[in-house]
Structure 1
Amino acid sequence: MPEGTTFKYQQLGIAATEYSAATKAIERLIEKGVIKRITTGVFYKPKKSVFGELRPRETEIIKPYLYEQGKRIAYITGTALYNNMGLTTQVPKIVKIASRSKRIYIDSGSIKAKPVKSYVDVTEENYPLLEILDVLKDFTKIPDMDKKSGIRFLQDKLNSLSEKETNTLVKYALKYPPRVRAFLGAILNEISGQENSNLKQSLNPLTTYSLNLNENILTTAPNWNIK
């Protein structure tokens, strides 16, 4: 196991009936300093440096909580995600973890996390798409973000998707609030020059969406009742 990585019993590749023996083995390894405990049931192999042992990065400490039985069920969202994407320099004191199947709390030293509800079930394949939808959802709330840069970021992300991924993104967007669907529709409209009929038909034509965007920032905003 690489240094600096975190793990739970589930990552050890052993049967549940062997957990009792594994617990004793892990306790011996902790006594020898080979591994360290972060919290109950979560451990890591410390990385050595000239300055001594290094604690795992925040994302590595959180990583085991995002999986259950080896399958991803959650992902990091909110300001921590947007900071990692380069959309904000702000670093949150409390990380948000989105999951549909589980409410995940973490309180381990300086690492604190609280749950938010995901709009769809989270998998290893779809969470990057859900991250894009979260940027759209929280666009006006991302601290210190330049809106033009934010739009360019979203355009680049959407341009990099395959046709299949774009169709899946639209399918997920239909489960998000109307302003997210309108915002996604406007950006896809600007990229392709065409309106996505599934997104358009899901919206009330009399509703306007206040995102503080003008045509200089997003030329297709008026087509989707975005102001």
Structure 2
Amino acid sequence: MSEISIKNLSKSFVDKNGEVIALDNINIDIEKGDIYGIIGMSGAGKSTLVRCMNYLEKPTSGTVEVAGKELGSLKKKELQKHREKIGMIFQGYNLLMQKSVVENICFPLYIQGIKKKEARKRAYELLEIVGLSDKRKAYPSQLSGGQKQRVAIARALAANPEILLCDEATSALDPQTTASILELLKDINEKYNITIVIITHEMSVVKKICTKVAVLEGGHVKKEGEVATIFKEVISDVGA
């Protein structure tokens, strides 16, 4: 059984010009332990798709099944509980600027009702994993972009998720920092068997870390499969 199964998913919005179809009949299956890339240009529908995977965006039609549960069938409290299985990191880090590094990581645990002592113990473990033990008392304004993203990764892992969604998580970083973040994600995937979905517009990111990839264009999946196979097809298409 797939860890994430998306069937016949469509998403449309209404703006001043009428209906906009962001996603049109998407079908994707992501297996447990995959590092799955979703690549496409700006406006392809990538971010909308990843937000549908945890129901931050509700699809107009179709289904999203995550870890054996169809999200559209869950009541509000059930959905909130099931979302604990899904961590998410963003391009803009989304850190609380007035909170220290350790408090940023503890924040989702406090929301779950975890006591401060236990939450801080978990936060210190995660800071060790992401290589920032010496920054636990620092504030986001005192960190580099790469360090902020490491804090964001630690926070996303706080509740022991089974899935990590990464929405353009490296696009604001320089190449060297991007490489270090990708190595960290790969290490997390291998050590903890966490399924990772990476949304990106950068082919280099997909080639470096992903096992499978879907190419999005205009809200449609144009190609999907093993990374090596898809890139051979892309090169062949360009050559043609």
Q: TM-score, normalised by structure 1?
A: 0.32
Structure having the larger proportion of residues in strand: 2
The structure with more radius of gyration: 1
Larger RCO: Structure 1 or Structure 2 (Cα < 8 Å, ≥ 6 residues apart)? 2
